[in-house]
Structures are given as C-alpha cells and as structure tokens.
Amino acid sequence: MSAATSTIAPAAFLSRSSSLLASAAAVRLRSSRRYFRVLPIRASSPSEPPFEVCVKASVTVPNRLGDCPFSQRVLLTLEEKRLSYDVKLVDLGNKPEWFLQISPEGKVPLIKLDEKWIADSDIITKSLEEKYPVPSLETPPEKASAGSKIFSTFIGLLKSKDPNDGTEQALLDELTLFNEYLKDNGPFVNGDSISAADLSLGPKLYHMEISVGHYKNWSVPESLTYVRNYMKSIFSMDSFVKTRALPADVIAGWRPKVIC
C-alpha cells in the first residue's frame, strides 16, 4: 500500500464517498427521466406461481424467443407490470402434441391465467390489466388508435412487387400522421408514460424497421424526428431488449410474405 493511500483521513474518505454516491444517484435519476417512466414494484404476490406463456421459438438459434410481435407484446406487458413468468418456446414449424392439446388452432401467444389457457394478445393484455391494474398500462380510448394502421401498410409495402403501386406512399402517410400525433401528444402515445398502445405498436415498428430495411432498402425518413425518437426510446427499454427477437429471425419470419 502506498503512503498516499494509507494516510487518507477518515473525514476526507467519507466526503469523497458521499460525493461519489451523490453522483451515482444523479446519473440514475437522469436515466429514469430519459424514458419518462419509473420501474414499478412487482404487482403479483411473491407466493403466486409464475405465469406459463407459450411463444414462438427462434428458427435461427436454439432456445431463443422467436419473431412474433404479438408474443412480444404479451411479454412486454408482463415485464412492465413486474409479473413473473415462465416461457414455453414452441416450434411452430413442428408443433408438439402438448401444445396442440391446449391450443387446437396452433397459435401463439398463449397464457395460463386462473387455470385457463387464453389466446389472442388483445384478450391476454386486457385480462392482465383487469387482474393487475397497478401499475396501470391502460391507454385512453381516444388515444388507443394512434399509429394503428402502420402495421398493415408496412406489410403492404413488404408484399409489393410494383414500386409504383402506392404502398410506399401509404406507409409514409401513416408514419407522417403518427409523427404529427407524437409532436402534439408525445413522447409516447399516452404522453409521458408508457401504455398498452406502446407495447403493442413497438414490436410492430421493430419488425418494420428490420424487414423493410432488409427487403426494400427503406427506412423511416429523418424528417420524421418524433417517430424516430419514439422508436429509439421504445427499442432501448430494458423490457424490450429482454423480449425482442433476433434480427435474423425477423428477416426469416417475413420472407414468405416477400416471395409469395
């Protein structure tokens, strides 16, 4: 140990430690404000067993989440509500018998809630909101449709074989409308707080960015700054990073739409 280290006075050490702690606290505070949300306390009782959730498995890497945006929506809802869950990865190309017994139509996502298997991301997320209302993710009805047509128009562009058929302009129109909405109401659909609408739209925009960029060499114009900032904020959330699909899976998942 050097002489300089061994002769630091206790008061000086405490002063320096306090300064470091204050700086760390300030960084954490700035980080939480950047996303306009505070991570909520886990809403379910510690004694409750984790939810069983069936989702699509990756087709590119073993034991990884697949590319279903509706499955990610459900996982995001569980994450943001701090509800524990166990993921059951399902190979949709070779559906196991146990899965078909609980989901005769062979669709994901699927969740076991109150001893019943429930399908459809709309129904699942609404059921979770009703059963676990804190923290609330409810989107006011008058705001819930913001950006809702982007998904169908991006699929139209992805499937298009004619560059002059208007599908690119249709997507640009919807993104422009959403940009104006965020300019007046953002940074998220429900203002400063994340809501169910964001957890539904975010995965779809993620798929749009990757698939249209890959197959059409197209991206959201830089002029749509509010949409681009929205996507950046959503995609960088801890819950989103944890539940997102690999880009290779997104590309593989949309390939049939492009080549059909």
Residues whose CB falls within 8 Å of the CB of residue 125, separated by 6 or more in sequence, listed in order: 73, 74, 77, 137, 196, 199, 200
Active-site residue flag, 260 = no
The separation between the first and the last C-alpha atoms of the chain, rounded to the nearest angstrom, is: 71
| CA distance readout (Å), 100 to 58, 94, 96, 109, 110 | 19, 11, 7, 13, 11
Phi and psi torsions of 236, nearest 5°:
-95, -5
Phi and psi torsions of 124, nearest 5°:
-60, -50
- Selected catalytic residue, list 54, 57, 65, 68: 68
**Which residues are designated catalytic?**
68
